[in-house]
Amino acid sequence: MVFAGTNISLFQPDITQKLTERIDDLKQKIAAWGKRIRRFSERSRRFNQNRLFQSDQKRLYKSLERQEVCGAGPGPDQADTVAFWRGLWSEPVNHSEGPWMEVVASQSASVTPMDPVTITPEDVAEAARRAPN
């Protein structure tokens, strides 16, 4: 037996096909285990972050800030960035609005607009005072 647990022998006429199939099966099993480990790691990370969020939000946010961004190299040139965004935002664009826009506008005409919400510094102070961090 060439592979333990299989009935593959070197003296069989279709050995290359059986070997290829066995190798493919093993590759699929390895890929499945890798995905299972990846799912477990992601789930564990999410669980720990959720638990940390419930107990100590400040520590969670600090831990999120410390993580390095993969592939972070030197940023783009400032002139190139300004030219890119200027080309997008300063050029007028005519959008073709379909008949569905009129339907949505007529349906939303009967909806009463929400009253404006004014947030005072006292509201912010009260919310910050109740926050655990």
Over residues 89-104, the pLDDT tens digits come to 888 888 777 888 889 9
**Packed helices 15-55 and 57-66: angle between N→C axes, nearest 10 degrees:** 130
Per-residue pLDDT, averaged over 16-37, amounts to 94
Segments making up each domain of the chain, as ranges: 32-65
pLDDT classification of 88: cutoffs 50, 70, 90 = confident
- The owner of tokens 């992601």 is 42
Residue bearing the bigger pLDDT, 6 or 84: 84
Q: How many angstroms separate the CA atoms of 128 and 119, rounded? A: 13
> What per-residue confidence (pLDDT) applies to 24?
96
> What per-residue confidence (pLDDT) applies to 70?
61
Mean pLDDT in the chain? 86
Geometric angle at alpha carbon 87, from 85 and 92, rounded to 5°? 115
